[in-house]
Amino acid sequence: MGASMGTAMSAAMSANWLLLLAPLTPLLLAGLWCLQGYRDSTATPERRSAPPPAALPWLAALAPVPALLIALFGSPGTHLILEPVLLGNLWVLDDVSRALLGMTALLWLISGLYAQHYRATRSDTQPNTSQHNTAFWLCWLLALAGNLGLILCRDIAGFYSCFALMTFAGYGLVVHSGSAAAKRAGRIYLIMAVPGEMLILSGLVLAASVAASPVLHALPPAIADHPWGSGIAALLWAGFGIKAGLAFLHMWLPLAHPVAPTPASAVLSGAMIKAGLLGWILVLPLGLAPVPWATLAMTGALIAAIGGALIGVTQRAPKTVLAYSSISQMGIITSMLATGLMQPALWPALAPVVVLYAVHHGLAKGALFLGVSGLTGRARLWLWLPALSLAGLPLTTGAAAKVAMKEVLYDASYPGLILLLSLAAVGTTLLMVRFMYCLRQTQQAADNTATPDSGSRALAVLTGLAILVSLIGLPWLTAGTVADTFTQRWPGAADAVQLLWPVAAGLVLGGLVGGGLASRFAGRFTARGLAIPAGDLIVLAEKAAAGVATLWQRRPGRTWRWETLVQTEGRWLARIGQRIAQLDRRISGQAGGLFVVLAIAIMLLASAA
Amino acid sequence: MSWTSWMPILVLLSSLVTALIIFCLPENRHATRGLLNLAGAVIKILLVTVMIVGVEQGMTFEARYTVLPGVDFILRADGMAMFFAGLSSVLWLFTTLYAIGYLENSPNRSRFFGFFSLCVTSTMGIALAGNLFTFLLFYELLTLSTWPLVVHRGTEKALAAGRTYLIYTLTGGAVLLGGVLWLYGLVGDVEFREGGMLRDMPEALHGQFALIFAVLMVGLAVKAAMVPLHGWLPLAMVAPAPVSALLHAVAVVKAGAFGIIRVVYDLFGIEFAASLNLLWPLGMMAAITILYASLRALAQTQLKRRLAYSTISQVSYIVLGISLFGPVGTIGALVHLLHQGFMKITLFFCAGNYAETLGIHDIKDLDGAGKRMPLTSAAFTLGAFGMIGAPPLAGFISKWYLGVGAVNAGMTWALWVLIASSLLNALYFLPIVHRLWFRPRAVAGWPEEQRLSQRFETSGWLLWPTVATALFIIAAGVFAGMPFSPLSWAQLVAAGEYL
């Protein structure tokens, strides 16, 4: 009997170890790509580098498979403690991580296969495609490892490590195309992401200094009891909020998400954006204590939800419209967290809904992004399915998520919350109409030149798969307690009106704008500067910075560059630098004197003593 | 004398004998010299390893010799000593390997390696010193044995830098001597002991102790390159890359920081120092140094100068950690002593590789170097991210402990200093990393390219030590919880300092 128990235990232990496969598979494959990169770099004109083995991109694309299998077949409650790793490493598969892991792995898998066939515009910008592909897959796999790791990792250092890995590898995906727009987006991405990491670090340090153990679930009670708890929570709110596209911290998002290659856009906007959300769920004192700034957070969430939609409809590029839609959708999810911060009693009911909504949005947004370059001609019409699901049309998963959300939020004490969220839903519908319109405009131009080949057929099939998954994947991925909430709240007829009016209003509005009126008014307005440039506030900030830089440099007409400020080219810094260097020289010139004075002082003191 | 008292002496002899033989060797016996150097380094590592295991099991290794009545020469291996000795002996091996490759075909190698070994002998002496007198002896010896290395190239600039170096360090040493004599006059010979010795002295002396503390700190702050006594360090970067590694990571600045650790923990005792209100001024000085040097680093256009200012800033992390009362801050300070060594040595090795292979000294010439020298650039990237404090690298572990230590010590402002400094680190390191990997290579080509190896991007002597120290940056972070990791050892040592 002892032996059988032993085998059972070792089987359980080995099952726990399997959790590591999720982040380690992409990490090891990234190692293989490093080798490939090394081979590329040692190539000389005489000794050309061999192209990567055909299996390598396939393996990279299939890297999320172990994670997907874990999400589907892993038993909840599986956990693994690795004491020697970092400050004590903990991996947990629970309902939250399971649902998010499934969504994330599935989206990365489909997008990875898609990326294998995706060759739009890439070969034009960079002649050396082999090296370029290596860089792309390397960043892809590292970002994937980070994304999967942070979902499963539940100790502070491990979670933060994965988060940082994803952030920095994500930069490589954003700037991949090498265009000027990509470089600008990458710059702003880093300018916002690095301070974001610092906000998170300071919040984690402050919370961890009073926490009982270095695991994440020790943090919410620690923050709730801390005298500066609300301040710590605010730091973490802002830090993770940068990743989640919080209002006024969102500016990098509509620049960075669209400029990446389409499959990378899909994972950025569908999966990676949820990392900030997960961070909030894991560390904020949700359900424990109210925080005083929760009302402000709610207002911010609603500004993102409605403002994102309003700015989004003025955009022309389909992917930018989708990026603003992500801000708007994350705003809606954020409103649930803000409710949890306002009224802790509501959080237990909201928590599964947040996960549900996040999974729904991830799948739908991923499918929409893939559709931008995956479908042509009439096939594009299929995109209406995830689009309307996002808007919450009855009988879609979006409707289920929305009903579940509103049921709890009726008890929230924020005035007019339901109405404002319905307005956001109208906005979502409008955005989707705008997206389909813009997609048609841009693709009409492209359709004339493109010739269908096996590659584009594969893209179409994969997009179709993504759409299918976005429609039926939700209950399948959230099997477990999350799904119980979900089946209980499957919308009935009574909810239909509730759900339908925002969609209908959005469609009618969109139809009006898109129809006759468009050519008269909207078209003219958007053409004449009513359109808000992508990245909205950052454009103002850039202009201001350029103005300031010009003032400093007193050199009109120079374009503002980031490094100008960083390095000595900026006269202002250089002047201070010179002063300090003078001071330095003076100090070093008179070091002897300095010490003589000190020595005399010491001797005097000594004799006095 | 038992074998345990021979151990500390043998550790010193392993490089002292090497030095003496090398001085006697003719200039052209390169192979013999290299072999001797490596044998010395390996033997030293083995000896230190034996002592580390012994200390972990509670053994004492002590050699004592009375120089004058009342003044003892003491070498003792305690946890703290093993921390510094372990760091220096391991890094010395890598630096020796690197130096052999770096100085290939250059003149005066006999002189260089002789003083190189002397330098490490003095560092080991500083690590193992059991009282202030012994410490001072080796501290001065270190100054004198480093000077020939700084001026090794013999150029006008090198000589000027060497002059500044001597003015700073000798006067700093004199101030330190003043402090030591003052203390000796008051209480006689004081040994380093866990928890400190001075708190048992009569209370009437406490006022003078505070002044002595200030004097000792001024003397030690010169080598630790704390503002405003840091002026020699950026100038000394004219020295060859292995010497920079020695100055910045293995020996000199570390000797200053280690001296501050000894004075605060094992002479005064952290609790006594805290009760005399001596810690927060120290912390303020460290904070000023951290921020000032980070700002200065931003304005540098030369790679090695930027790294030099970064060192000034990073070494003061250690001092900041010392000033944080509480075991967590202590762990942060100790572990950063080691982590900073590995990160900075990697970065200086990389700077040396770029300079030797491609002739790059200016940051702006680094565009696209990642494709030409992928392993070096990967190592640089790891070092830079480690310095920024990105998890899961070594720098994160030390920054985490320093931050939590600051909050626990009630000095939350120090956390903001750390955060601000991390941001500044990112500002001056990320553009370099960006240039390496994301910028196209300049059309004009590299300033001065040499093909040092047929198979690799640069000579193997230069490449493999760099790669090894870079791998350590990952290992020290990812496996921080392992027994005998820097973090575990720091926890062990710190536990002894608080009663």
- The 10s digit of each residue's pLDDT in B199-240 is 888 888 888 898 999 999 999 999 999 988 888 898 888 889
Give the span between the Cα atoms of A119 and A177, in whole angstroms: 11
The whole-number average pLDDT for the span A386-401 is: 82
Which of B185, B423, B481 lies nearest to residue A86, judging by beta carbons? B481
As beta bridge partners, residue A82 has A89
User: Distances in Å between the alpha carbon of A135 and those of A92, A105, A130, A181, B339?
Assistant: 31, 21, 9, 19, 29
SS3 labels along A272-334: HCHHHHHHHHHHCCCCCCCCCCHHHHHHHHHHHHHHHHHHHCCCCCHHHHHHHHHHHHHHHHH
Mean pLDDT of chain A: 81
Which residue matches tokens 């070994």? B117
Domain locations in chain A? 1-285+561-609, 290-444+467-531
Helix (H) / strand (E) containing A81: strand A78-82
CB-based contacts of A583: which residues, under 8 Å, 6+ apart?
Answer: none
Q: Residue A43 in contact with residue A121, Cβ under 8 Å?
A: no
Copy the structure tokens of residue B304: 């090695």
Query: What pLDDT is attached to residue A2?
Result: 45
Distances from the Cα of B364 to the Cα of A311, B378, B431, angstroms: 39, 18, 10
Pairwise CB contact (< 8 Å): B403 & A603: no
**Would you call B396 and A157 a contact, using CB atoms and an 8 Å cutoff?**
yes
Q: What is the pTM of this model?
A: 0.90
User: Tokens standing for A536?
Assistant: 């909205």
B263 has pLDDT over 60: yes
What would the two tokens of residue B351 be? 């700077």
Residue B235: exposed, middle, or buried by beta-carbon count in 10 A (0-12, 13-18, 19+)?
A: buried
Q: Is B420 strand, coil or helix?
A: helix
Angle between helices B109-128 and B79-102 (to 10 degrees): 170
With a CB cutoff of 8 Å and minimum separation 6, the contacts of B291 are B313, B417, B420, B421, B424
Please give the residue of chain A at the shortest CA–CA distance from B374: A38
> How far apart, in Å, are the Cα atoms of B408 and each of A152, A197, B246, B299, B319?
29, 22, 34, 34, 17
CA–CA dist A44, A49 (Å, integer): 8
Nearest residue, CB atoms, B231 vs list A158, A208, A587: A587
Query: Could you say which residues from 160 to 179 on chain A have a Cβ atom under 8 Å away from some Cβ of chain B?
Result: 160-161, 164, 168, 175
A88 and B481 in contact by Cβ < 8 A?
yes
Searching chain A, which residue's CA lies closest to the CA of residue B184? A606
Which of A175, A587, A599 is the closest to B228 by Cβ?
A587
For residue A197, list chain B residues with Cβ-Cβ distance below 8 A.
Answer: 390
What is the tally of helices (H) and strands (E) in chain A?
Answer: 30, 2
Say what the pLDDT of residue A568 is. 39
- Among the ranges given (A22-26, A228-232, B143-147, B201-205), the one the predictor scored with the smallest mean pLDDT: B201-205
Angstrom distance (rounded) from CA B270 to CA A175 = 50
Residues of A in contact with B335 (CB under 8 A): none
> CA dist B1 to B15, B17, B124, Å?
21, 21, 21
d(CA B496, CA A180): 57
Measure the CA–CA gap between A608 and A15, rounded to whole angstroms.
Answer: 74
The beta-strand segments (E) located in B183-263 are: none
CA–CA separation, B8 vs B256, rounded Å? Answer: 21
CA A214/CA A89 separation, integer angstroms: 9
- ipTM at complex level: 0.93
Cβ–Cβ under 8 Å, residues A377 and A316: no
Contact: B231, A202; criterion CB under 8 Å: no
- Taking CA–CA distances from B431, the nearest residue in chain A reads A563
Q: Does A541 touch chain B (CB under 8 A)?
A: no
Residue B221's Cβ-side half-sphere holds a number of Cα atoms within 13 Å equal to: 23
The pLDDT value recorded for residue A483 is 53
**Selected residue with higher pLDDT from A79 and A571:** A79
The answer, yes or no, to whether residue A122 has pLDDT greater than 50, is: no
Q: Which among A41, A591, A603 has the least Cβ separation from residue B371?
A: A41
| pLDDT of the residue at B353 | 94
CA gap B98, B41 in Å, rounded: 13
Chain B residues touching residue A41 (CB < 8 angstroms): 370-372, 374, 457
Q: Which of A386-395, A413-422, B303-312 has the highest mean pLDDT?
A: B303-312
pLDDT one-digit tens code per residue, A514-537 = 554 444 444 444 444 456 777 778
